[in-house]
A and B are shown apart, each in its own frame.
Chain A
Amino acid sequence: MIPASFEYKKATSVQEAISMLGSEDKILAGGHSLIPAMKLRLNMPTGLVDISKIESLKEIRDNEKSISIGAGVSHATIANNPEISKHMPMISEAASMIGDIQVRNVGTIGGSIAHADPSADWPGVLLASDATVVIANAEGSREVDIDQFFTGFFETALQDNEIITHVRIPKTAANANSCYVKFVQPASRFAIVGCAAAVEKVNGSVKSIRVAFNGVGDNAYRATGIENALKDQKLSAENIGSAASHATDGIDVMDDHFASENYRSHLASVFAKRALSRL
Chain B
Amino acid sequence: MSYIGKSVKRIEDKRLVTGKGKYTDDIKIPGLTHAYILRSPYASANILGIDTSAAKSAEGVISVFVGTDIEGIRGVPTGWQVNFKNGDTMKEPAHPLLVTDAVRHVGDAVALVIAETKEQARDAADLIDVDYEVLEAAVDPAEAIKDGAPLVHEDAPNNICFDWELGNPVSEVDAALAKAHHITSLDFINQRLVPNAIEPRSAIGHYEEHNDHYTLYTSTQNPHLTRLLLCAFVLGIPEHKVRVVSFDVGGGFGSKIFHYTEEALVIWASRKINRPIKWTAERSESFLTDAHGRDHVTSAKMGFDKAGKMVALKVDTIANLGAYLSTFAPAVPTWLHGTLLQGLYTTPKIHIDLKAVFTHTNAVDAYRGAGRPEATYLLERLVDLAALEMNMDPAELRRINFIPAFNGVTEPGYQTQVALQYDSGNYHGVLDRALEKVGYKDFRKAQQESLAKGKLLGIGFSTYIEACGIAPSAVVGALGARAGLFESAQVRVQPTGKVSVYTGSHSHGQGHETTFVQVVADKLGIPMEDVDLVHGDSDAVAFGMGTYGSRSLAVGGSAIVKSVEKILEKGAKIAAHKLEASVDDLDYANGKWTVKGTDKSIAFGDVSLTAYVPHDYPQGLEPGLDFASFYDPTNFTYPFGAHIAIVEIDKETGKVTLQRFVAVDDVGNVINPMIVEGQIHGGVAQGIGQAMLEGAVYDESGQLINGSYMDYAMPRADDFPSFEVERTVTPCPHNPLGVKGAGEAGTIGSTPAVVNAVIDALWKAGFKVKDIKMPLTPERVWTAMNN
Q: Which residues in A have some Cβ–Cβ distance to B below 8 Å?
A: 1-2, 4-5, 40-41, 183, 186-188, 257-260, 263, 266-267, 270
B652 at the interface (CB under 8 A from A): yes
Q: A40-B284, A259-B779 are in contact. Are A187 and B652 (CB under 8 A)?
A: no
For B652, list chain A residues within 8 Å (CB).
Answer: 270
Instruction: Report which B residues bind A (CB closer than 8 A).
Output: 118-119, 122-123, 126, 282-284, 652-653, 655, 693, 697, 705-706, 709-714, 777-779, 782-783
Whether B118 pairs with A187 at a CB distance below 8 angstroms is no
Please state if B713 and A187 are interface contacts (CB–CB under 8 Å).
yes
Contacts of B122 in A (CB 8 A): 1-2
The reply to whether B710 and A263 form a contact with Cβ atoms under 8 Å apart is no
Bound Cα distance A62, B282 (Å): 45
Q: How far does the Cβ of B199 sit from chain A's closest Cβ, in whole Å? A: 14
Bound together, the chains give a CA A260 to CA B654 distance in angstroms of 14
A260 touches B282 (CB 8 A): no
**In contact, A263 and B782 (Cβ under 8 angstroms):** yes
Q: Chain B nearest CB: distance from A217 CB in Å?
A: 18
For the complex formed, measure the closest distance between the CB of A44 and the CB atoms of chain B, giving whole angstroms: 9
A257 in contact with B710 given A40-B284, A267-B653, A270-B652 (CB within 8 Å): no
Nearest opposing residue in chain B for A187, CB measure: B713
Q: How far is the CA of A198 from the CA of B782 in the complex (A)?
A: 29
A4 close to B713 (CB less than 8 A): no
Which of A5, A40, A188, A259 contacts B711, CB < 8 Å? Answer: A188
- Contact between chains at A1 and B282 (CB < 8 Å): yes
Roughly how many angstroms separate A32 CA and B747 CA in the complex, as a whole number? 34
Cα A260 to Cα B693 in complex, Å, equals 17
User: 23 A–B contact pairs at CB < 8 A?
Assistant: A1-B122, A2-B118, A2-B122, A4-B123, A4-B126, A5-B119, A5-B123, A186-B693, A186-B713, A187-B711, A187-B712, A187-B714, A188-B709, A188-B710, A257-B705, A257-B706, A257-B711, A258-B779, A263-B779, A263-B782, A263-B783, A267-B653, A270-B653
How far apart sit A122 and B26, CA to CA, in the bound complex (Å)? Answer: 39
CB of B284 within 8 A of CB of A187, answer: no
CA distance A187 to B696 in the complex (A): 12
Bound CA–CA A36/B283 (angstroms) = 12
Contact partners of B118 in chain A: CB under 8 A = 2
Contact indicator A183/B284 (Cβ below 8 Å): no
- By beta carbon, the residue of chain B nearest A273 is B652
- Distance (Å) between the CB of A80 and the closest chain B CB? 21
> Which DSSP category, helix, strand, loop or mixed, fits chain A's interface?
loop
Cβ-defined contact, B653 with A183, below 8 A: yes
Q: Measured between alpha carbons, how far is A188 from B712 in the docked complex, in Å?
A: 8
Give 3 closest A-B pairs by Cβ, nearest first: A186-B713, A187-B713, A188-B710
In the bound complex, CA of A187 to CA of B705 (Å): 13
Per the bound structure, the CA–CA distance linking A58 and B778 in Å amounts to: 39
Chain B residues positioned under 8 Å from A1 (CB to CB) = 122, 282-283
Which B residues lie within 8 Å of A259 (CB)?
779
Interface SS of chain B: helix, strand, loop or mixed? loop
Q: Say how far B288's CB is from chain A's closest CB, in angstroms.
A: 13
| Chain B residues with CB under 8 A of A2 | 118-119, 122-123
Complexed CA–CA distance, A183 and B777 (Å): 12
In the complex, chain B residues whose CB is within 8 Å of the CB of A266: 782
CB-CB under 8 A from A40, the residues of chain B are 284
List residues of chain B with CB within 8 A of the CB of A263: 779, 782-783
Quick check: A257 and B697 within 8 Å, CB to CB?
yes
Q: Which residues of B contact A187 (CB under 8 A)?
A: 706, 709-714
| B697 and A260 contacting across the interface, CB-CB below 8 Å | no
Q: Which residue in chain A gives the minimum CB-CB distance to B706?
A: A257
| Chain B min CB distance to A79 (Å) | 17
Nearest residue in A to B705 (C-beta to C-beta)?
A257
**Chain A residues closer than 8 Å to B779, beta-carbon distance:** 258-260, 263
Task: Give Cα A187 to B716, complex, Å.
Answer: 9
CA distance A255 to B213 in the complex (A): 56
B581 to chain A, nearest CB (A): 67
Distance between A40 CB and nearest chain B CB, rounded to angstroms: 7
Please, how many angstroms separate the alpha-carbon atoms of A258 and B740 in the complex? 40
Distance of B328 from chain A, by nearest CB (Å): 28
Nearest opposing residue in chain A for B711, CB measure: A187
User: What's the Cα separation between A267 and B283 when bound, in Å?
Assistant: 32
CA distance A2 to B118 in the complex (A): 8
Among A5, A186, A187, A263, find the residue whose CB has the most chain B CB atoms closer than 10 A: A186
Chain B, Cβ-Cβ closest to A40:
B284
The smallest C-beta distance from A275 to any residue of chain B, in angstroms, reads 13
Instruction: Give chain A residues whose Cβ lies under 8 Å from the Cβ of B655.
Output: 183
A258 to B782 Cα, complex, angstroms: 13
Once bound together, how far apart are the Cα atoms of A112 and B697, in whole Å? 29
- Chain A residues whose CB sits within 8 angstroms of the CB of B284 once the complex forms: 40
CB distance from B171 to the nearest CB of A (A): 44
Least Cβ–Cβ distance between A276 and chain B, in angstroms: 14
B767 vs chain A, min Cβ distance (A): 16
- Cα A266 to Cα B778 with chains together (Å): 12
Give B119's nearest chain A residue, CB to CB: A2
A-side contacts of B714, CB under 8 Å: 187
Q: How far is the CA of A257 from the CA of B779 in the complex (A)?
A: 11
* Residues in chain A near residue B778, CB distance under 8 A: 183
In the complex, besides A5-B119, A259-B779, 7 extra interface pairs with C-beta distance below 8 angstroms are A1-B122, A1-B283, A41-B126, A183-B655, A187-B706, A187-B711, A270-B652
| A193: nearest chain-B partner, CB-CB | B653
A187 to B706, CA, bound (A): 9
Q: What is the CA–CA distance of A40 and B122 in the complex, to the nearest angstrom?
A: 11
Residues on the A chain within 8 Å of B119, using CB: 2, 5
Chain B residues closer than 8 Å to A183, beta-carbon distance:
653, 655, 778
Residue of A nearest to B710 (CB): A188
Q: In the complex the two chains form, what is the Cα distance from A183 to B653 in whole Å?
A: 9
Q: How far is the CA of A266 from the CA of B653 in the complex (A)?
A: 8
A residues near B782, Cβ cutoff 8 Å: 263, 266
Least CB distance, A262 to chain B, in whole angstroms: 9
CA distance A258 to B705 in the complex (A): 11
Name which residue of chain B comes closest to A271, CB basis.
B653
What is the CB-to-nearest-CB distance from B273 to chain A, in angstroms, rounded to a whole number? 21
Query: CA–CA, A257 to B704, complex, Å?
Result: 12
Question: Once bound together, how far apart are the Cα atoms of A188 and B284, in whole Å?
Answer: 15
Residue of chain A at shortest CB distance from B697: A257
**Chain A contacts of B711 at CB under 8 A?**
187-188, 257
Minimum CB–CB distance for B536 against chain A, Å: 26
Closest to B117 in A: A2
How many whole Å from A97's CB to the nearest CB in chain B? Answer: 12
Complex CA distance for A229 and B714, rounded to whole angstroms: 40
Give Cα A5–Cα B712 distance, bound, in whole angstroms: 29
Whole-angstrom CA separation of A183 from B783 in the bound complex: 17
Distance of A45 from chain B, by nearest CB (Å): 15
